[in-house]
Chains A and B, each alone.
Chain A
Amino acid sequence: MGSRASLGPRHRAGLVVGSLALAAISLSGCPRRQASQPDQRVTLAFKHAQHPRYAFLTELIQRFEAENPGIRVREEILPASTDEQHQFYVINLAARAADFDVLDMDVIWVPEFARAGWLMELTPGVTEIERAPLFPAALRADWLEEKLYAVPWFVDAGVLYYRKDLLDKHGFLPPQTYPELLETARSVLTAERDPKLTGFIWQGKQYEGLVCSALEFIRGNGGDLLREGGRPALTEPPTLEALHFMSDMVRRYDVTPPLVTTLNEEASRHIFQSGRAIFMRNWPYAWPLLQQPGSRVAGRIGMTLVPHFPGHTSTPTLGGFHVGVNARSPHKKEALAFVRFLLRYDVQKQILLKVGVLPAHRQVYDDAEVRQKLPQISELLHSLQQVEPRPATPYYMMISHILQPELSAVVAGIRPPKQAMRSAELQIEHLLGLL
């Protein structure tokens, strides 16, 4: 029986905030772990997200333990969805939990957690020499009021996947601009006469991925979500033009199918992998999956920078995860040692080769062994050098929560861009006024 069914409304209303009540109760007396265990070893709890190849992370951790005999690291896996991970952190950190030391965080949460005082300052702890080789755009999200609160340990950037075979067949080069992409897609669709083939798919479901996709349209036209100083810039012409084009792709040009309003990353990948889209916006994780034996498009695809509008530059959205130290951790020194370990060149290289995510360390991309084993890395490096993070403000989650339905309304044709963005702008202004 579903849990919904067995609970009365009172219990349910209680459940919504029951955890808050517990949180408040635990404020008074939170059990602290012993600072030193009988054998004088410290055990760090490292909270991180599940990932198909995180098994290799355990190998790295064993290496850290071998190098630091006094420290053990216990992995504690977070729930699968990022929403649930965020919820876990919020509930526990708001209740001043001290039973985990190192946190694996989505880049967009870092300013929020830092502002709340939940993260230990890393400014002197992580040295400038250690910070220098990390991608600056990724690191930008970790600073709040000139203090560093986290560091990226792997990064992500939106990329454009294309069907190399179809483009070659019809004599097209990978497009650099949106008009070129539109032209290419229409020509190929006309020539192929395949009713199942569509032109360009991206993440259009009402969720965080839609903000990432839309930002690439907007910034590719010189627009942005926020102005300098943090006020919304949603109703400015570059933003509205880009959103018009985005919605026209669906309703006017017939290049993006209407079902884009249901697509998240995996649903997009399924369509592209079954050979039914010419172009796809997605993250680099899809590359090995698309190229694996058995994939219908294996060996027939390419990857390039996300498009931009003429006169502007390609601006992929930054993703990835950052590590920080719980401000209430009883083992700050050891936790810091672990964070610094993750940034080391040799460790970052293993993170790429074994764990299969993109390292935050810029020089790994020039490594001879890496270049030889992963030829597509140079294309990814291009994207990573042009990425921009989503607005690094502590209230990003609130802004995104306001934007998601409005962007979705644009994609689904419920409201024109101007009306939707004006509504979002008013809501954001109201929110900022509250703070």
Chain B
Amino acid sequence: MRASFRERLGRFGLLGPAVAYVASVAVIPVVFTLWLSLRKQMPIFGISQFVGLQNYLFLMRDARFWGAVGHTGYFVLVAVTLELTLGLAIALLLHQKFPGRGLARALVLIPWAVPSVVAARFWEWTLNADFGVLNFLLRTRINWLGDPFWAMHAAILADVWKTTPFMVLLLLAGLQVIPEHLYRAARIDGANSWQAFRHITLPLLKPIILLALLFRTMDAARVFDLIYVLTGGGPGNQTETLVIYAYNLLYRTLQFGYGSSVAVATFFFIVLLSLAYLRELRRTWQMRE
């Protein structure tokens, strides 16, 4: 049955406020950033002019930008891989029946509940080369946050601690919807635990794994507060990520035009990563239908 013109008008009228709201908080700022990124905008010097793609051309040759791309990529790759591996292991463990399981599930979530900046401060003290607990426990004297090699890995460690619970949460939810009878059937057919995991758990968990990876990748790619507090991007910019670079340009040096082009590049960097996952995710869903 076709809706009458009046009815359709009514529908749009009802949708209108929501669309306007989303536009005002999500679309307008993005469009505004795009527009800014095509300008040379330095309020201190009264410079405000349209320069087309000049900012992006400079971006292509900006070693500091490519350094930030590299650091961000490395951070995402290592942190998310570790989080998935650990998260899956913990989720499988918490899926088992054992006394105190409810408590254990609640406890696992604590790091996730801690605000990032608080977690960063906590890790700043833990990783302190001079009196930090980590060096004390390991009986090492590693300059965790000040060594060019260790600084990024220390940041990854802090991020893994903080966000593995999120992985656990999603994967645990995924595990709980896998029907128990599949496992029983497999056991009757003589499958061992590994075979059951390999051929039942993993395939059925795949959409959730992809979804969790998507969330975490997008999140890790815009890492800011954690690293900003831990190292400020140092030493020697070895931990400067895309968002830290954009922040420095925008707010510390007031290069609104160029800073916006770095922000836009970061946006596309994340979109590209996300699209790869979404394609895979769609394939998985189509296969199931």
A interface with B by C-beta (< 8 Å):
1-5, 8-18, 20-21, 24, 83, 86-87, 90-91, 94, 112-113, 115-117, 204-207, 258-262, 267, 270-271, 276, 394-395, 397-398, 401, 404-406, 408-415, 427, 434-435
Contact = CB atoms under 8 A, between A and B. Distances in A.
Contact of B46 (A9, A14, A117): A117
Interface string B31-59: 01100100010111111000000000000
Nearest to B44: A116
Contacts of A2: 114-116, 119, 162, 225
B87 interface: no
Interface in B129-173: 129-130, 143, 145-148, 162-163, 166
B241 interface: no
A401 B45 contact: no
A258 B146 contact: yes
Interface in B208-244: 218-219, 221-225, 231-238, 240, 243
Chain B interface extent, by class: 35 or more
A259 B222 contact: no
A13 B28 CA distance: 11
Given A9-B267, A17-B260, A262 B145 contact: yes
Given A206-B234, A261-B143, A397 B252 contact: yes
Closest 8 CB pairs of A and B: A206-B234, A409-B236, A261-B146, A14-B29, A412-B235, A405-B237, A262-B146, A259-B129
B19 interface: no
B274 interface: yes
B92 interface: no
A86 B251 contact: yes
A206 B231 contact: yes
Given A409-B236, A435-B45, A259 B130 contact: yes
B204 interface: no
A12 B43 CA distance: 23
9 contacts: A2-B162, A4-B223, A5-B112, A20-B256, A94-B43, A112-B44, A204-B146, A207-B232, A409-B237
A205 B36 CA distance: 32
B252 to A, nearest CB: 6
Contacts, number: 181
B25 to A, nearest CB: 7
Contacts of B129: 258-259, 262
A13 B266 contact: yes
Given A4-B222, A9-B218, A86-B251, A16 B237 contact: no
B218 A414 contact: no
Contact of A17 (B32, B40, B231): B32
A20 B255 CA distance: 12
Contacts of B237: 206, 405, 408-409
B252 A115 contact: no
Contacts of A11: 25-26
Nearest to A420: B236
Contacts of B40: 434
B76 interface: no
B232 A206 contact: yes
A405 B240 CA distance: 9
Contacts of A415: 236
Given A20-B33, A20-B36, A258-B146, 5 more contacts: A11-B25, A14-B29, A16-B250, A397-B252, A405-B233
Contact of B232 (A4, A117, A205): A205
Contacts of A413: 148
A248 B253 CA distance: 31
